[in-house]
Amino acid sequence: MRVLAPEFFFGIHSFKENEPFIIIRTEEFDNAFAAILRWEKSMPFDLAEFFDLTAEELENPGYIPEFKDIVLLNQDVRILNGKEGTILIYGFVDTKTIVLTTHVETFNEITRRIKLPRQVVR
């Protein structure tokens, strides 16, 4: 995905359990949005090792992920649910920042922190 910056941030959000997340930057929102929608078909498989995705659905041959639109913190995001809950969730926090994770609360917390106004220390 050439529209994404080569650097990314991988972290762990300590919530009820440790929840992994990835933050990716882009300078081309329109192209990145179209590309990430195309990526949805293989995204869970491509990110399985990052997020330790072992959902039963992913292990079945011929499984095609179906992301759904939802609204979190007043913004549109895409979510992939499985039989046992959320498998993957992603969204554009702003026109240059994409957050991918496995838990709604982690997505909300990362979004809040990114949007938090920065204090200027004098």
pLDDT one-digit tens code per residue, 28-47 = 888 889 989 999 999 999 99
Given a cut of 90, is residue 121 above it in pLDDT? no
Q: According to the model, what pLDDT value does residue 73 have?
A: 85
Q: Residue 58: what pLDDT?
A: 85
**Predicted pLDDT of residue 68:** 96
Query: Buried b / exposed e across 74-93, counting CB within 10 Å, b at 16+?
Result: eeebbbbbbeeebbbbbbbb
Q: Could you say which DSSP state residue 67 is in? A: -
Contacts of 56 (CB under 8 A, 6+ apart): 82, 83, 84
**pTM for the predicted model, two decimal places:** 0.85
Q: How many helices (H) does the chain have, and how many strands (E)? A: 4, 6
Mean pLDDT for the stretch of residues 2-26 = 83
User: How sure is the predictor about 9, in pLDDT bands with cuts at 50, 70 and 90?
Assistant: confident
According to the model, what pLDDT value does residue 71 have?
A: 95
Question: Quick check: 1 pLDDT over 70?
Answer: no
Using alpha carbons only, give the angle 67, 12, 25 rounded to the nearest 5 degrees.
60
Phi-psi region of 14 (alpha: psi -120 to 50; beta: other; left: phi over 0): beta
Kindly tell me if the per-residue pLDDT of 105 is higher than 90: yes
Per the rule left: phi > 0, alpha: psi between -120 and 50, beta: everything else, 28 is beta
End-to-end CA distance of the chain: 40
